[in-house]
C-alpha cells in the first residue's frame, strides 16, 4: 500500500507541476504575442481550462498531503471513542460528496459528446470536462490512501499546520 | 430559516473536521436536494467546473510560484542582507530587518505564507542567536508577513476583486499606503520592545557594507519595478503581471545569480500546487453555495435586516468590522473572503460604499485574522518554524495586532488613506 501511495504521490505531483509550468508558459507566450500585436484567440479559454485541471488534480494531491483547510481542534479534544466515530463520519461525508461530484461529472461528460471548445472546436469538451469525474475519483483515492496517517494524527492529538494564502 | 440552516450545517461540519471546502459543498448539495430534489444534481459538476474557470484567478498559482522561485534562487537571502546593512545597527535591528524585508517581499509576492517561508527560516534563527526571545522573533515575523496581503500584489485582493467585481489594479493601488503605514507602525513597536527589553543592536552601520549589499541585491530591486510598474502602467493585466513575476524571478535567480536549486524549486512548485488547489477548491464549492444563496435570497434578506436597523455608514462599517474580526478567530483568510464577501455585498451596496475601499477593509481584517488563534494560518506556520507555543507568541504579538487594527480603523473611517491614490490615478 505504501509503495502504491508513493507511486500516486510521485505521478500526480509531477502531473500537477507540469500543469502549473504549462499554465505559466502559456500566460507568458500570450503576453508576448499580444505585445507583438498578434493576440492568441484561444488563450483565455485554454488557460482557464488548465486552471480547472490544476484545481481538481491539485486538490486530490493536497488531500493526499491532508493539506485542505479544516478545524480539527474540537475533534482532538474528545475522548477516543466518540473521536473515532466522528472521524469516520467526517471521512464518509467527504467521500460521499466527491462521489456525487464524480457521478454528476461523468453524466455531464456523456451529455457533452460532439461539443468542442469555442476557440478551438477540434478540442473536445469531453476531454476538458473529464477533470470533474476523474479529479473527484482521484480525490477519493487520495483520501483513502491517506486516511490511516490522518487517523494517527487525530488519535494522538498532534499539532496540525494548515497553510493558506 | 434558510440562513440559520446553512450556518448551522456549516458550523457542524467544520467542527467535525470536514475540510471547509467540502463542508461548503455538502451544505450546498443538501440545500439543492432539499429545494429541487435530485433533478438539478447535474448542475453540481457544471457549477463547480465553471466556478474555477475565472481568468483573474490565474494570477493565484503564478504569484505563489513566483514566491517559491525567489526563495529557491537566492533573492530572499540577498534582500535580507541588504536590509541587515540598512537597519541592523538599530537597537533590536534584526526585528527591523525582518519587517523591512517583509515589506519588500510583499511587493513581489502576494501571499503571507510565502513571506514567512522566505524570511522565517533565516530571520527567526538569527534573532534567537542574538538573544531575542523566540516568541518575540516569531511574533515579529508573523505579523510583518501579513503585510504581504496588504501591499500589492495580493492574492486575497485578487480573490476579493473576482468575487465582488472590483478592479484588481485599483485594489492593488489602494493597498500601498495602508501597507506602508502598517510596516512602519510594526517597526515602531519592534523598536519599543527592543528599548524596553534591552535587545542588542547588530553590526555598526557601514556605508561600504550597505553599498556591497545593494549591489548584490540590485537585480532583486528591479523585480517590483517590473511587476508593479507593468500592472500599474497598464502594460500588463494583474494575471499577466503574475506571469511576468515568475519570468523575472527565474531570470534573476537562474541567469544573474545562477543559484537555482532545482530540487528545492520542484518542492516549491508542489507546495504552490497545494496552496493553489486549497484556495481554488474553496472557490469551486462556494460557487455551488452561491447558487443556493441566490435561490434562497439569503444575502438580500440579510441586507434588508441590517439596513432596517440602520443605514448609518459608520455603524454598518463597525458591524462589518466586528463580524470579520470575530470570523478571523475561527476561519482561514481565503475561506473568510470566499464565504462572507458574497453574503455582505448587498449590505455594502445598500450603504453606498466604494467596492475598492471595502476590499481594503476586508484585506486588513484578513491580515488581522491571520494573527488571531486558534485559526491563524500565518501565526501557526511561523510558530512551527520558530518552535514556539502559539499562545505565548500571541502575547508578544498583541501590540503588533494593535498596529494592524489601528490601520484598519484609519482606513475604515478616513477613506482617503487608501483611496487618495486611486482617485488621483484612476478616477
Give the C-alpha separation, B344 to B353, whole Å: 12
Is the Cβ–Cβ distance between B64 and A17 less than 8 Å? Answer: no
pLDDT at A157 (0 to 100): 74
Residues ≥6 apart with Cβ < 8 Å to B83: B96, B97, B100, B101, B104
Contact criterion met (CB below 8 Å) for B169 and B231: yes
CA-based nearest distance B209→chain A, Å: 35
CB B58 within 8 A of CB A47: yes
Q: What is the mean pLDDT of residues B59-77?
A: 83
Q: What is the pLDDT of residues A109-156, one digit of tens each?
A: 999 998 999 999 999 999 999 999 999 999 999 999 999 999 988 888
Is residue B199 predicted with pLDDT exceeding 90? no
- Of A73, A94, A163, which is closest to B19 when you measure between CB atoms? A94
**Tens-digit pLDDT profile for residues B221-260:** 888 888 888 888 888 888 888 888 888 888 888 888 888 7
pLDDT at B260: 79
Can you give the pLDDT at residue B54? Answer: 85
Judge whether residue A43 has pLDDT over 70: yes
pLDDT at A158: 59
Q: pLDDT by residue (tens digit) across B126-155? A: 888 888 999 999 999 999 999 999 999 999
Provide the pLDDT for residue B250.
87
Q: Which of chain A's residues have a Cβ under 8 Å away from the Cβ of B49?
A: 52, 105, 129, 131-132
B324 CB-near residues (< 8 Å, 6+ apart): B336, B340, B361, B362, B365, B366, B369
Q: What is the pLDDT of residue B399?
A: 97
Q: Which residues of A touch B11 (CB under 8 A)?
A: none
pLDDT digits over A8-37, tens only?
999 999 999 999 999 999 999 998 898 888
- B250 close to A (CB below 8 A): no
- The radius of gyration computed from the CA coordinates of chain A, to the nearest angstrom, equals 19
Residue closest to B274 by CA, chosen among A60, A111, A25, A26: A60
Q: For residue B221, what pLDDT is reported?
A: 86
Q: Residue B32 is placed in which grid cell? A: 439543492
User: How much is the pTM?
Assistant: 0.85
**Separation CA B125–CA A22 (nearest Å):** 37
ipTM: 0.94
Give the residue among B97, B141, B96, B110 at the shortest CA–CA distance from B397: B141
Predicted pLDDT at A159: 53
Residue of A52, A86, A93 with shortest CB distance to B49: A52
Q: Which 8-state DSSP code applies to residue B91?
A: B
**Which chain B residue lies closest to A14 (C-alpha atoms)?**
B270
The pLDDT assigned to B157 comes to 94
Average pLDDT over residues B308-319: 89
| B366 vs A: CB within 8 A | no
Residue B17: name the closest of A61, A139, A153 by CA.
A153
Grid coordinates of B305: 435586516
Alpha-carbon separation of residue A12 from A59, A99, A140 (angstroms):
11, 20, 14
Q: B184: left (phi > 0), else alpha (psi -120 to 50), else beta?
A: alpha
pLDDT tier for residue A164 given thresholds of 50, 70 and 90: low
The residue among B18, B25, B45, B242 with the most chain A CBs within 10 A of its CB, best to mutate, is B45
The contacts of residue B299 (CB under 8 Å, 6+ apart) are B293, B342, B343, B344, B345, B346
The rounded distance, in Å, linking the Cα atoms of B388 and B124 is 11
How do residues A68-104 score in pLDDT, each as one tens digit?
888 787 888 889 999 999 999 999 999 999 999 999 9
CA distance B50 to chain A (A): 8
pLDDT above 60 (res B211): yes
Distance between CA atoms of residues B331 and B325, nearest Å: 10
Q: What is the Cα–Cα distance from B214 to A116, expressed in whole angstroms?
A: 53
Judge: A20–B65 Cβ closer than 8 Å, yes or no: yes
pLDDT of residue B366: 92
CA-only gyration radius of chain B, Å: 22
Residue A146 · residue A63 · CB < 8 Å: yes
Give the span between the Cα atoms of A139 and A100, in whole angstroms.
12
* Alpha-helix runs per DSSP H in A36-130: 43-64, 73-77, 80-111, 125-129
C-alpha cell at B313: 455608514
Looking at chain B, which residue has its C-alpha nearest residue A104? B42
Residue B374: cis peptide before it, omega within 30 degrees of 0: yes
Average pLDDT, chain B: 89
CA–CA separation, B209 and B81 (whole Å): 10
Cβ contacts of A93 on chain B, cutoff 8 Å: 13, 16, 18, 22, 26
Taking an 8 Å cut-off on Cβ atoms, the answer to whether B273 and A13 are in contact is: yes
Confidence label for A163 from pLDDT (cuts 50, 70 and 90):
low
Partners of residue B274 in chain A, C-beta under 8 Å: 58, 61-62, 65, 67, 163
CA atoms within 13 A on the CB side of B123: 38
Asked whether B384 and A159 are in contact (CB, 8 A), the reply is yes
Q: Residue range B175-198: average pLDDT?
A: 95
Q: Which residue has the higher pLDDT, B114 or A11?
A: A11
What confidence score (pLDDT) does residue A3 get? Answer: 92
Note which residues in 173-202 of chain B have CB less than 8 A from chain A: none
For the residues B30-34, what does the mean pLDDT come to?
91
Amino acid at each position: 500500500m505504501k509503495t502504491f501511495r508513493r507511486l500516486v504521490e510521485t505521478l500526480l505531483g509531477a502531473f500537477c507541476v507540469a500543469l502549473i509550468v504549462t499554465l505559466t508558459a502559456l500566460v507568458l507566450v500570450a503576453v508576448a504575442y499580444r505585445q507583438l500585436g498578434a493576440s492568441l484567440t484561444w488563450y483565455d479559454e485554454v488557460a482557464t481550462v488548465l486552471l480547472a485541471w490544476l484545481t481538481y488534480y491539485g486538490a486530490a494531491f493536497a488531500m493526499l498531503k491532508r493539506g485542505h483547510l479544516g478545524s480539527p481542534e474540537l475533534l482532538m479534544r474528545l475522548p477516543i471513542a466518540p473521536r473515532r466515530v466522528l472521524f469516520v463520519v467526517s471521512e464518509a461525508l467527504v467521500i460521499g460528496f466527491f462521489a456525487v461530484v464524480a457521478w454528476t461529472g461523468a453524466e455531464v461528460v456523456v451529455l457533452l459528446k460532439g461539443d468542442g471548445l469555442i476557440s478551438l472546436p477540434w478540442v473536445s469538451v469531453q476531454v476538458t470536462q473529464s477533470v470533474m469525474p476523474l479529479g473527484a475519483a482521484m480525490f477519493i483515492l487520495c483520501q483513502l490512501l491517506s486516511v490511516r496517517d490522518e487517523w494517527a494524527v487525530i488519535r494522538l492529538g498532534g499539532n496540525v499546520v494548515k497553510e493558506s494564502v | 430559516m434558510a440562513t440559520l440552516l446553512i450556518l448551522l450545517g456549516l458550523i457542524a461540519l467544520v467542527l467535525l473536521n470536514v475540510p471547509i471546502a467540502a463542508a461548503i459543498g455538502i451544505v450546498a448539495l443538501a440545500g439543492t436536494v432539499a429545494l429541487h430534489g435530485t433533478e438539478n444534481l447535474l448542475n453540481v459538476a457544471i457549477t463547480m467546473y465553471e466556478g474555477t474557470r475565472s481568468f483573474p484567478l490565474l494570477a493565484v498559482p503564478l504569484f505563489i510560484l513566483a514566491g517559491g522561485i525567489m526563495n529557491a534562487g537566492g533573492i530572499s537571502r540577498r534582500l535580507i542582507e541588504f536590509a541587515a546593512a540598512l537597519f541592523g545597527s538599530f537597537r533590536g535591528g534584526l526585528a527591523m530587518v525582518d519587517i523591512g524585508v517583509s515589506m519588500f517581499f510583499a511587493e513581489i509576492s502576494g501571499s503571507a505564507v510565502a513571506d514567512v517561508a522566505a524570511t522565517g527560516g533565516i530571520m527567526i534563527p538569527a534573532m534567537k542567536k542574538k538573544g531575542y526571545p523566540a516568541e518575540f522573533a516569531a511574533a515579529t515575523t508573523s505579523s510583518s508577513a501579513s503585510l504581504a496581503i496588504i501591499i500589492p500584489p495580493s492574492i486575497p485582493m485578487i480573490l476579493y476583486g473576482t468575487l465582488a467585481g472590483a478592479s484588481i489594479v485599483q485594489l492593488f493601488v489602494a493597498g500601498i499606503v495602508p501597507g506602508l503605514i502598517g510596516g512602519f507602525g510594526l517597526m515602531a513597536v519592534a523598536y519599543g520592545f527592543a528599548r524596553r527589553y534591552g535587545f542588542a543592536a547588530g553590526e555598526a552601520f557601514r556605508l561600504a557594507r550597505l553599498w556591497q549589499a545593494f549591489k548584490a541585491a540590485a537585480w532583486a530591486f528591479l523585480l517590483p519595478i517590473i511587476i508593479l510598474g507593468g500592472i500599474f502602467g497598464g502594460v500588463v493585466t494583474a494575471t499577466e503581471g503574475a506571469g511576468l513575476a515568475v519570468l523575472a524571478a527565474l531570470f534573476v535567480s537562474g541567469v544573474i545569480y545562477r543559484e537555482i536549486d532545482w530540487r528545492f524549486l520542484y518542492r516549491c512548485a508542489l507546495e504552490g500546487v497545494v496552496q493553489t488547489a486549497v484556495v481554488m477548491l474553496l472557490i469551486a464549492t462556494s460557487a455551488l453555495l452561491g447558487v443556493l444563496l441566490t435561490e434562497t435570497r439569503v444575502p438580500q434578506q440579510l441586507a434588508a435586516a441590517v439596513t432596517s436597523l440602520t443605514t448609518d455608514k459608520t455603524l454598518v462599517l463597525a458591524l462589518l468590522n466586528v463580524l470579520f474580526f470575530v470570523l478571523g478567530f475561527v476561519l482561514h483568510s481565503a475561506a473568510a473572503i470566499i464565504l462572507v464577501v458574497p453574503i455582505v455585498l448587498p449590505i455594502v451596496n445598500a450603504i453606498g460604499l466604494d467596492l475598492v475601499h471595502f476590499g481594503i477593509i476586508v484585506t486588513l481584517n484578513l491580515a488581522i485574522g491571520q494573527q488571531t488563534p486558534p485559526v491563524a494560518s500565518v501565526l501557526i506556520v511561523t510558530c512551527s518554524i520558530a518552535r514556539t507555543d502559539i499562545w505565548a507568541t500571541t502575547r508578544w504579538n498583541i501590540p503588533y495586532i494593535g498596529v494592524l487594527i489601528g490601520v484598519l480603523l484609519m482606513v475604515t473611517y478616513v477613506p482617503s488613506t487608501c483611496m487618495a491614490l486611486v482617485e488621483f490615478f484612476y478616477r
